[in-house]
A and B are shown apart, each in its own frame.
Chain A
Amino acid sequence: MKLARMLILTVDVLLAISGAVPLLKHILADTKPSVQLEVKNAQPREVEDVTQNAIVRDYTLAWQAITTALANNSLQPLNDNFAGFALDKLTQRVKDQKQNGLTTRIVDHGHKVEAIFYSPDGAAIELKDTASIETQVLDGGTVIHSDQAQIQYYAVMTGAEDRWKVRVLQSVAK
């Protein structure tokens, strides 16, 4: 009798864990990714402390926006954090995904970012980002692709009215 109770309890705990894990994963997916910025090699201008903080904040927000936009096929998060070519491309991606019934789930495991160019007038900064990213592409509810990889990105950010916005975001083969 006691054994049966223990067995039922164990099964209940396992069921609870199996329900909690996807929920936790979902919550984690919506949290901000970690971004570590290194600025010592930035040329030709030194990156000021205030700018460093702003870049970390806004680049983090940009990646959070990508994750949300591609998972929900929504454009609003992109408009707040992207401009120019990057906004054009991501907008098109979201529209195409929507049209084809796809979504992309990104689990962002963090970014090691190096500032490689900071313009003499302080208006534009170029970043080299090594991102650890888990990607799942879903057709309806079915996963049609899944991978985890370290991907290198080049990003160009420019100062906008109240924040830095990503103007270029391009992945390159290592």
Chain B
Amino acid sequence: MRKVIYIGIVIALCWFAEDCARAAELHVPQNAVAGQPLSIGTSGSGTLYLIGPGQVIKRDFKSGGTVEIKGEELRSAGRWIAAIRGDSNLSQVFWVKPGKPGKLNFLARPSRVPVARPNVISGVTFVFDQYQNLILDPTPVNFNLSVGGAGSTKTVTSHDGVAWINSASAPKAGAAQFVASVDGTTVTRVVQQVAADPCERSFRMHVAGHDANRLIVETDPIRDCSGNPVPDGTIVTFIQTDKSGKSTVDARIKKGTARAELPASDNATITMAAGVVLGNELHVGGK
């Protein structure tokens, strides 16, 4: 009886040892990179599942060996799970790092800004590899802001995947090219730099004509303090005050000047304003 039990135990042990020898093994890489080929060592036979943050890869394998994953298949960086179903079931976690910089997400604000203002333009860049994985390693990002060929460049090293700058607007009006670049990857945004408020020193009007019923006043060419013409369409308010009361006309700047027709008066004071800027004061008629 003892002999039979002994033989039985030996057979069971052999069976177990044989099963262990056939059992699948799983060797996942420690330094996988998105976009680069990957080899996973297995033994036995079964199905390998690679479950990543943005994809699942499935491979059947027989007689062990390595399962090869092409670079273009391995797209997502982050935490992956390798799981085998077959002769035995195994699973392991491994990590895939992002590849080289290949895409930039560039937010430039605002799209329209007055000239010659400090820290009004912000540029924020998130750095990605070509498979849209955020690159968390520090990466130098070049920012260039220029209008009409003149501009400034600044290099900022990204931290936690983001690089940002605050910049002053240039003194010259026009469409500024705001460019962010990393390793030959370039993204351009246009920031329209427009004239600031009219300059009080040169914001002046004069009488352009009159007849029995009306008085025409017109401004000189309206410019900001950097000499840029204030954009057409900006509203200038003319206010005429006389003994009969107050007349107000809102006129838009057209071809650089604003013009208004006011009621004729033998003694009136005319003022004008654009936003918070006041122009000169005119007295018409009277003695």
**B61 at the binding interface (Cβ < 8 Å):** no
> Can you name 28 A-B residue pairings with CB atoms under 8 Å?
A44-B166, A85-B128, A85-B132, A93-B52, A93-B53, A93-B55, A93-B56, A100-B56, A104-B51, A116-B160, A117-B164, A119-B109, A119-B124, A121-B109, A123-B107, A123-B109, A124-B107, A137-B51, A137-B83, A137-B91, A139-B49, A142-B85, A146-B91, A168-B134, A170-B77, A170-B133, A171-B53, A173-B95
**A151 at the binding interface (Cβ < 8 Å):** yes
Interface size class of A (residues with CB under 8 A): 35 or more
Given A85-B132, A93-B53, A104-B51; 20 other pairs, CB 8 A cutoff: A44-B166, A89-B53, A89-B54, A96-B56, A97-B56, A99-B56, A102-B49, A120-B122, A123-B107, A126-B160, A137-B49, A142-B85, A144-B85, A144-B91, A149-B93, A154-B134, A168-B134, A168-B161, A170-B133, A172-B78
**B136 at the binding interface (Cβ < 8 Å):** yes
Q: Specify which chain A residues have a CB less than 8 angstroms from the CB of B107 in the assembled complex.
A: 119, 121, 123-124
**B112 at the binding interface (Cβ < 8 Å):** no
A102, B164: Cβ atoms closer than 8 Å: no
With both chains docked as a complex, state the minimum distance between the C-beta of B199 and any C-beta of chain A, in angstroms: 28
**B76 at the binding interface (Cβ < 8 Å):** yes
**A residues neighboring B (CB under 8 Å):** 44, 85, 88-90, 92-93, 96-97, 99-100, 102, 104, 116-117, 119-121, 123-124, 126, 128, 135, 137, 139, 142, 144-147, 149, 151, 154, 156, 168-173
B109, A120: Cβ atoms closer than 8 Å: yes
Q: Specify which chain A residues have a CB less than 8 angstroms from the CB of B124 in the assembled complex.
A: 119-120, 124
**SS class, residues of chain B in contact with chain A:** strand
Q: CB-nearest residue of chain A relative to B93? A: A147
**B residues neighboring A (CB under 8 Å):** 49, 51-58, 76-79, 81, 83, 85, 89, 91, 93, 95, 107, 109-110, 122, 124, 126, 128, 132-134, 136, 160-162, 164, 166
A137, B81: Cβ atoms closer than 8 Å: yes
Task: From the candidates A128, A139, A168, name the one contacting B85 in the complex (CB within 8 A).
Answer: A139
B81, A145: Cβ atoms closer than 8 Å: yes
Q: Specify which chain B residues have a CB less than 8 angstroms from the CB of A147 in the assembled complex.
A: 81, 91, 93
Q: Specify which chain A residues have a CB less than 8 angstroms from the CB of B161 in the assembled complex.
A: 126, 154, 156, 168
A170, B134: Cβ atoms closer than 8 Å: yes
Task: From the candidates B52, B85, B95, B136, name the one contacting A154 in the complex (CB within 8 A).
Answer: B136
With both chains docked as a complex, state the minimum distance between the C-beta of B148 and any C-beta of chain A, in angstroms: 26
Closest 6 CB pairs of A and B: A89-B54, A96-B56, A145-B91, A171-B78, A120-B122, A85-B132
A119, B54: Cβ atoms closer than 8 Å: no
A69 to B56, CA, bound (A): 15
A90, B164: Cβ atoms closer than 8 Å: no
With both chains docked as a complex, state the minimum distance between the C-beta of A22 and any C-beta of chain B, in angstroms: 21
A170, B78: Cβ atoms closer than 8 Å: yes
A146 to B85, CA, bound (A): 14
A89, B56: Cβ atoms closer than 8 Å: no
A93, B54: Cβ atoms closer than 8 Å: yes
